Amino acid sequence: MEIKSVLLDSCDVCGKANVEGYVVASAFGPCSNAVCLECLASGKESYHEMVAYISEAGHWPTDINEMYQKEVRRQLELHGKTEEQFKEDVERMIELYKYYDEVN
């Protein structure tokens, strides 16, 4: 069975519009993304989904197992982000979760 690519309105990872790609499962949680061929070839994941997934597990990097630490660091290189930026984004997301828990 041949799996054919489709024309995507935009890539969920890099944002490029009108590109050929596939809908694939994410390594960071139970979700799928429309991914262009370039992002698919590099294994690049959505930065925002990665922040959300890791922040649900805990603080970066102390609460995250080695396997995910390795993959996050690989993703950060692909996105041109530093660990410090990622840590700040994870902490901001954790604070948002706390706020939503308080108001709900």
Question: Do residues 75 and 50 touch, judged by C-beta distance below 8 A?
Answer: yes
- The pLDDT, as a whole number, for residue 101 is 74
Q: Which pLDDT does position 60 carry in this prediction?
A: 98
**Model pTM above 0.85:** yes
Q: What tens digit of pLDDT does each residue of 65-74 get?
A: 999 999 999 9
Buried b (16+ CB within 10 A) or exposed e, 55-85: beeeebbeebeeebeebbeebbeebebeeee
User: What is the pLDDT at residue 12?
Assistant: 97
Check residue 24 and give its pLDDT: 96
- What pairs with residue 7 in β-bridges? 20
pLDDT at site 36: 98
Q: Where are the domains of the chain?
A: 1-45, 46-104
List, for the chain, all residue ranges whose pLDDT scores fall below the cut of 70: none
